Amino acid sequence: MPLYSYRCTACDHDFEALVRSSDTPVCASCGSAALERKVARIAPDTKADKFLNTARRAAAAEGHFSNYSKAERSRI
């Protein structure tokens, strides 16, 4: 079941709901079925840290330490 964000046009209440395709959601606040589905934002990719760490290890293996801070260089 997908998670959707809704805004009730009757009471102006914003909420999220898990909705099956065959179900019609109702407002959690007033019970109205007059809802407007809101556009959801896309979640950011969380793999950026893995790519950064891989690039740093490759640079350190080649002897390039400029992408590390001074505090990080002392630990290497």
From 1, 37, 41, 39, select the one nearest 27 (Cα to Cα): 37
Give the residue numbers spanning the domain of 21. 3-37
9 and 31 fall within a common domain: yes
From 19, 44, 20, 23, select the one nearest 6 (Cα to Cα): 19
Continuous segment of H or E residues that includes residue 15: strand 14-18
- The mean of the pLDDT values for the chain is 81
Residues in the chain predicted with pLDDT less than 70, given as ranges, are 1, 40-46, 65-68, 76
d(CA 30, CA 39): 22
51 and 31 fall within a common domain: no
Report yes or no: 56 and 38 within 8 Å, Cβ to Cβ: no
- The pLDDT, as a whole number, for residue 42 is 65
Give me the number of domains the chain comprises: 2
- The pLDDT, as a whole number, for residue 69 is 72
